[in-house]
């Protein structure tokens, strides 16, 4: 079937418009999200001083006496994220080095997809895995540990983001030219020395970007921390205690018991805007690192 010149001219005019509209969907969605967050947060700060929100050390907006200090939620969020990164980055990077430098092609084709299956497991499953398996296991080591705690939730969040670190780092290492490896081997370097001193530095921008993106993913995790970490906004660095993250608080208040338009309801958007700004800055950092340390071959 052939197209006439008229039909081709119409297609040339219509298709770019359709493609532009498809591309504009993400932009318009982002604008809508930012507008909603800012408009609702401004209304919230008309009732609650922004100074108390940023510098307050107690968070209890739902019970008397009410306090709106964000730091207990921030400390819980960063505690979970720190534990997750300490788990995911070493294991993910080691997996990436093995897949890139040591694994035979047949093994790589099997192991990498299996590793990435972890990314497809629903996070609610990870949450109950943390609560019913990891927590009892840890309680045998730490008898005084709370049933809901930051340690088990952080460990499982770390397991969840391992595929992100591993896959992105392995892709960055695989992009390093073979000539660099061959040159190092010709100078007498061992395979381990080539991996550690040649490949990893050459792929450094991709590795750091994967770690920053994994950090951002861990901060935004919701269901695992809601199930396993608890709902106690403690300003603590003790991973054995129950804590509450920003995402877990948003889930708690979004269940429908809080009246729409109230100050308590406005805390959802204030916390959401804080989380949005943090993840936005992390993504900018990842882009900067990728461009700053990118190697052109």
Q: How far is CA 103 from CA 97, 98, 179, 193, in A?
A: 9, 6, 19, 16
- Dist CA 168 CA 176 (whole Å): 13
- Dist CA 9 CA 181 (whole Å): 51
Give 234's DSSP letter.
-
* pLDDT for position 1: 47
Instruction: Count other Cβ atoms within 10 Å, centred on residue 246.
Output: 22
The burial class, CB within 10 Å (0-12 / 13-18 / 19+), for 159 is: buried
* pLDDT for position 84: 93
Instruction: Please give the structure tokens belonging to residue 161.
Output: 């983001």
Does a cis peptide bond (omega within 30 degrees of 0) precede residue 155?
no
List the alpha helices (DSSP H) in the chain: 5-45, 50-55, 71-97, 105-116, 123-129, 135-139, 150-174, 178-186, 191-194, 200-202, 204-219, 223-228, 246-253, 263-292
* pLDDT for position 158: 92
| pLDDT per residue of the chain (297 residues) written in tens, 0 to 9 | 455 666 566 667 777 888 888 888 888 888 888 888 888 888 888 888 888 888 888 888 877 778 888 899 999 999 999 999 999 999 999 989 988 888 888 888 888 788 777 777 888 899 999 989 999 999 888 888 888 899 999 999 999 999 888 888 888 888 888 888 888 888 888 888 888 888 888 888 888 888 888 888 888 888 888 888 888 888 888 888 889 889 888 888 877 667 777 788 888 889 989 998 888 888 888 777 777 766 665
CA atoms within 13 A on the CB side of 273: 21
* pLDDT for position 6: 61
Instruction: Count other Cβ atoms within 10 Å, centred on residue 223.
Output: 17
Three-class SS of 123-170? HHHHHHHHHHHHHHHHHCCCCCCCCCCHHHHHHHHHHHHHHHHHHHHH
Give 68's DSSP letter.
E
CB 242 within 8 A of CB 211: no
* pLDDT for position 91: 92
CB 177 within 8 A of CB 297: yes
* pLDDT for position 4: 63
CB 180 within 8 A of CB 270: no
CB 124 within 8 A of CB 222: no
Residue 58 CA, distance from chain mean position:
26
* pLDDT for position 87: 92
pTM of the shown model: 0.86
Give 189's DSSP letter.
-
* pLDDT for position 167: 87
Domain boundaries defined on the chain = 5-46, 59-292
What's the CATH class of domain 59-292?
Answer: mainly alpha
Residue 115: name the closest of 166, 51, 42 by CA.
Answer: 166
Residues 6+ apart with CB under 8 A from 111: 99, 103
* pLDDT for position 296: 61
- Dist CA 52 CA 49 (whole Å): 5
Q: What are phi and psi of 186, to 5 degrees?
A: -65, -25
């Amino acid at each position: 079937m052939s197209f006439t010149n008229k039909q081709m001219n119409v297609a040339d005019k219509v298709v770019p418009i359709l493609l532009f509209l498809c591309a504009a969907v993400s932009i318009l969605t982002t604008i809508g999200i930012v507008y909603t967050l800012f408009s609702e947060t401004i209304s919230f700060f008309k009732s609650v001083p922004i100074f108390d929100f940023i510098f307050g050390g107690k968070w209890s907006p739902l019970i008397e006496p009410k306090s709106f200090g964000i730091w207990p939620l921030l400390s819980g969020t960063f505690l979970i994220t720190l534990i997750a990164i300490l788990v995911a980055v070493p294991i993910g990077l080691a997996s990436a080095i093995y897949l890139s430098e040591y694994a035979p092609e047949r093994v790589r084709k099997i192991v990498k997809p299996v590793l990435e299956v972890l990314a497809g497991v629903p996070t609610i499953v990870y949450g109950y895995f943390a609560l019913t398996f990891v927590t009892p296991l840890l309680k045998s080591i730490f008898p005084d540990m709370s049933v809901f705690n930051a340690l088990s939730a952080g460990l499982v969040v770390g397991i969840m983001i391992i595929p992100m670190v591993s896959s992105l780092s392995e892709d960055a290492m695989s992009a390093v030219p073979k000539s660099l490896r061959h040159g190092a081997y010709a100078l007498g370097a061992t395979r381990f020395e080539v991996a550690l001193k040649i490949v990893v530095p050459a792929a450094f921008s991709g590795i750091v970007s994967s770690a920053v993106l994994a950090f951002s993913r861990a901060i935004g995790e919701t269901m695992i921390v809601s199930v396993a970490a608890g709902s106690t906004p403690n300003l603590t660095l003790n991973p054995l205690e129950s804590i509450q993250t920003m995402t877990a608080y948003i889930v708690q208040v979004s269940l429908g018991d809080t009246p729409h338009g109230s100050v308590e309801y406005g805390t959802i958007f204030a916390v959401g805007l804080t989380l949005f700004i943090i993840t936005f800055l992390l993504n900018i950092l990842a882009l900067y690192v990728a461009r700053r340390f990118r190697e052109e071959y």
